[in-house]
Amino acid sequence: MGLATPHAPGVWELSERMEPALRELGERGDIIRTMHKALKADGLERDPMTFQIHDRPPEAPIVGRVVDKYLSDEMGENLTVVVDGIDGRTHHLSGIDPARVEDARIGSVIEIGPAETTQRPSDRTIAAIAEDGVYRPSRHLEQAKFEGRVPGGDYEGYVDAHVRRLEALRRAGIVERIDAGQWRIPEDFESRAAAYDAGRNRQASIRVLSSFDLERQIGADGATWLDRTLLSPYASDLGSAGFGQEVRDAMDRRRKHHVERGDATRNRDGRIFYRRNLLATLRERETAHASAELAASKGLPFRAAADGETVSGKFTGTVQLSSGKFALVEKSHEFTLVPWRPVIDRQLGREVMGVVQGGSVSWKLGRTRGIGL
């Protein structure tokens, strides 16, 4: 192990790295035993040679099934997640924000990717407003009022949010405050600001691809993750062992399900042809069924929202379907289901308004300042 060097018979020099190296080996052994235990509880056997232990967000996205998640510290601020990947490997990832995997249960399919490092819209705005390397809040306020695009018409609050961003970047040494009304902006401002955010953001990006396990997806009414994988050109990336092979088998069963339901046809040569707009059709079918049950329990009629339509009402909760998570928006005389987005969670029990656009909703949340900052 290179942790001790013989100098003479019975005389050894111990490396300064010995204690941390042995501690790390012990921790790794504990992690491997924990992974084995989690897999065994799920009735799974995996080769330990396929185990990958990550001490930071992965460089490439990992897609797989959650086989375990547990608190990493006594404060309850971080979770550890064990993922049975479609790449045939089993991944151990720690330091996960519990809020990001709240909807992920054991068996759910998730994607864990690199830390999010996208540039902020506010930084692009600051760079665009700056003249000769100087940003002036007064100039920004004047332009904002001229364009008239600020949600709620709170122009002062909108500009103040940009100034607060600059104050944070000043403390990081990226910008310089000349005086109360002027800020010096470097030429590489946007890239340096993004690098600053990346250095502070050590959290992996996480998407719950399906809250349903494979078995429930096979016979589900809605547009499942299996369906999106069936129609994806990257389905060939599935591993030939472990969860990757399980997904391949589940896809075969899902194809048969579609053929039996009339949503697909099989030619004599074995090729499968799916109905046009399969995902939209499945999503509409499932939401219609779910809304009928909700209508019966609530005593309110359901009204589907068309693309481009503005929906408004009180956000009263969420519904988890195989097609994804939906927000329940109620009025006194009717209710509707629209695709959920994380930004709406803080509005629970409040009046909301949004525009349905291409399978998503662009929410207009009143005087919530700087939603894109």
pLDDT for the residue numbered 372: 39
At which residue do the structure tokens 């399969």 appear? 278
pLDDT for the residue numbered 298: 86
Higher pLDDT, 368 or 196: 196
Find out whether 272 and 264 touch, Cβ atoms under 8 Å. yes
What is the distance in angstroms between the CA of the first residue and the CA of the last residue of the chain? 50
Higher pLDDT, 24 or 165: 165
Specify whether the backbone of 366 is left (phi greater than 0), alpha (psi in -120 to 50) or beta.
left
> What rounded mean pLDDT belongs to the chain?
86
Residue 104 has pLDDT above 90, yes or no: no
Task: Kindly list the structural domains of the chain, giving each domain's residue range(s) and its CATH number in brackets, ordered by start.
Answer: 12-116+202-210 (2.40.50), 122-192 (1.10.10), 214-275 (no CATH), 280-363 (2.40.50.140)
**Closest to 3 in 3D by CA, of 23, 25, 27, 21:** 21
pLDDT band, residue 89 (cuts 50/70/90): very high
pLDDT for the residue numbered 368: 41
pLDDT band, residue 101 (cuts 50/70/90): confident
- The tens digit of pLDDT for each residue in 207-243 reads 899 999 999 999 999 999 999 999 887 666 788 888 9
Find out whether 329 and 338 touch, Cβ atoms under 8 Å. yes
Q: Strand 109-115 and strand 204-210: pairing?
A: antiparallel
Residue 258 has pLDDT above 70, yes or no: yes
pLDDT for the residue numbered 152: 65
- Mean pLDDT within 151-170: 86
pTM: 0.69
pLDDT band, residue 289 (cuts 50/70/90): very high
pLDDT for the residue numbered 94: 85
Which H helix or E strand runs over 160? helix 155-171
Tell me the two tokens of residue 74.
């006594």
By 3-state DSSP, what share of the chain in percent is helix, strand and coil, each rounded to 5? 40, 30, 35
- Mean pLDDT within 133-160: 86
Tell me the two tokens of residue 22.
């042995």
Range with the largest mean pLDDT of 67-81, 110-124, 284-298: 284-298
pLDDT for the residue numbered 365: 67
Higher pLDDT, 360 or 53: 53
pLDDT for the residue numbered 367: 43
**Beta-ladder partners of 174:** none
Residue 198 has pLDDT above 80, yes or no: no
